[in-house]
Chain A
Amino acid sequence: MKRRGRMIFFLLSAAVFAGVYLWGLKGLPAVGHYRGPYGDVLNQVATYERHVTDIVTAVNFDYRGFDTLGEEFILFMSVVGGTVLLRRQREEEKSEHKDQALSDESPERQAPEPSDATRVLTLGLVGPLVVFGLYIVAHGQLTPGGGFQGGVILATAPLLVYLAGDLKKFKQITSHTLVEVAEAAGAGAYLAIGFAGLILGGAYLRNVAALGKTGMINSGGTIALINLATGLEVAAGFVLLLYAFLEQTLEIRLRGGK
């Protein structure tokens, strides 16, 4: 179709589409009048049954924990997919061999030199960021946050190191093999906790750990454990994902020269 034809065709269809959608939405209860029962039942029972105060975390990692397992693997598969799609091609490698002189430490491969002040500031932020990320992960069952949110925060820490211009350190921190193993270990731990439930309790992902005292950091049984596993997986996964994109920009700088 030509651009104009496509536009007219789309606009007509979209008007009808919107009509159909609004017709459907009209059948919903008015906003602000959620009728339950699913969420209400869980709000009532989750704290007693699982000794957690953040019900969303309980839903995520226990009542509907299997969804989250699937979600972890969506992330996992996209990281693998991203690595596969952004892998270096033969011809790219070849041209790299030609420019062998430009090794990792060469100035060509580095980010623009930041000023000392930026350096100190960004590197100084890494510590608090990591602590904050860990805090968010560890308190998942108590307050808003959890393995997922904390994991992403943790994943941005190595990026600060990169922004500070310390590429060598950055490479050390994000040692590819290690991060890959960490990611798989996180995903594997989630699966393993599920298996423990299957073997000891007869149902996949059933809680088999002590529940602890409500409000304490070690409460929630498997919820706390899965939370940690998720934190590891998500942090490593996002490091790999961001790294895959970052490497693309590095590679072109290497080849492009000036």
Chain B
Amino acid sequence: MSFFPYAVAAWLFVIGLYGIVTSRNFVHLVICLAVLQSSTYVLLLSIGYRVGGTAPVFAGVRVGTPAVDPVVQALMLTDIVVEATVVALLLALALQLHKRANTLDPDKLKALEG
């Protein structure tokens, strides 16, 4: 258990990359990017975790009770917003691409070769 979460983080990164590289559809690709990003959530979460720690909310819990790290959680909140916004922007681009090129398959787009 002491290493398993880290391994999951690495797996998510690699599987996300795999999805991106093999994708035949930009919408699919953007979703894979979101999966890749979730690797960073798992990484940060497991770094800040403490066995037996409470959540860093001291409402009804005395200050000084062992708690997990609040900093990584704040970082993850930022990370989640980044995810949402990046996905939104890339989806907007994919939408427009489909409108003009009538395809979302990277294999069928040849305009930027060489």
Contacts and interface: CB of A to CB of B under 8 A. Distances in A.
Nearest to B86: A78
B39 to A, nearest CB: 9
Contact of B88 (A7, A43, A46, A241): A241
Interface stretch (A64-72, A119-127, A128-136, A189-197): A64-72
Interface string B37-68: 00000000011111101011111000110011
A144 interface: yes
Nearest to B73: A56
B13 A59 contact: no
Interface string A21-47: 110011010111110101110111011
Contacts of B14: 14, 17-18, 21
Contacts of A241: 88
A64 B88 contact: no
Contacts of A28: 6, 47
A78 B59 contact: no
Interface residues of B, number: 54
A43 B65 CA distance: 9
A31 B46 contact: yes
A148 B51 CA distance: 28
Given A14-B14, A34-B47, A56 B5 contact: no
B108 to A, nearest CB: 12
B74 A30 contact: no
A144 B70 contact: no
A77 B88 CA distance: 11
Name the prevailing secondary structure of the A interface residues.
helix
A71 B76 CA distance: 11
B51 A22 contact: no
Contact of A43 (B51, B70, B82, B92): B70
Nearest to B1: A31
Contacts of B84: 75
Contacts of A86: 92, 95-96
Contact of A75 (B10, B17, B74, B81): B81
A31 B4 contact: yes
A59 B96 contact: no
Contacts of B49: 31-32, 34
Nearest to A36: B69
Nearest to A20: B10
A85 B10 contact: no
Contacts of B69: 34, 36, 38-40, 43
- Pick the most buried of A25, A31, A78, A244: most chain B CB atoms within 10 A of its CB: A31
A143 B3 contact: no
A81 interface: yes
A82 interface: yes
- Pick the most buried of A3, A34, A77: most chain B CB atoms within 10 A of its CB: A34
Contacts of A54: 56-59
Nearest to A234: B81
A233 to B, nearest CB: 11
A40 to B, nearest CB: 8
A40 B56 CA distance: 10
B20 to A, nearest CB: 9
B85 interface: yes
Given A55-B58, A74-B85, A38 B51 contact: no
A22 B10 contact: yes
5 contacts: A22-B7, A31-B46, A54-B56, A59-B70, A68-B78
